[in-house]
């Protein structure tokens, strides 16, 4: 977990997203995958490790 960003260093999900993953519908998971793609791009574009 990267405590500065609050994201898992491997999957870029938050603790809440990881904890709720099994409760998400397929649609919610697809939405989150799209958000994760943007989140990861933003994370690396800011020069964070």
1-49 tens-digit pLDDT: 988 889 999 999 999 999 999 999 999 999 999 999 999 998 888 765 5
- CA dist 47 and 34 (Å) reads 21
Which residues constitute the domain of residue 21?
Answer: 1-49
Output the CA torsion sign for 29, 34, 35, 36: positive
**Which residues 6+ apart lie within 8 Å of 5 measured at CB?**
43, 48
pLDDT at 5: 86
Query: Nearest 5°: CA angle at 34, between 5 and 12?
Result: 25
If one counts the domains in the chain, the total is 1
pLDDT at 47: 67
């Amino acid at each position: 977990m990267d405590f500065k960003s609050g994201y898992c260093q491997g999957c870029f999900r938050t603790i809440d997203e990881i904890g709720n993953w099994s409760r998400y519908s397929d649609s919610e998971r697809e939405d989150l995958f799209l958000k994760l793609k943007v989140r990861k791009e933003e994370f690396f574009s800011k020069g964070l490790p």
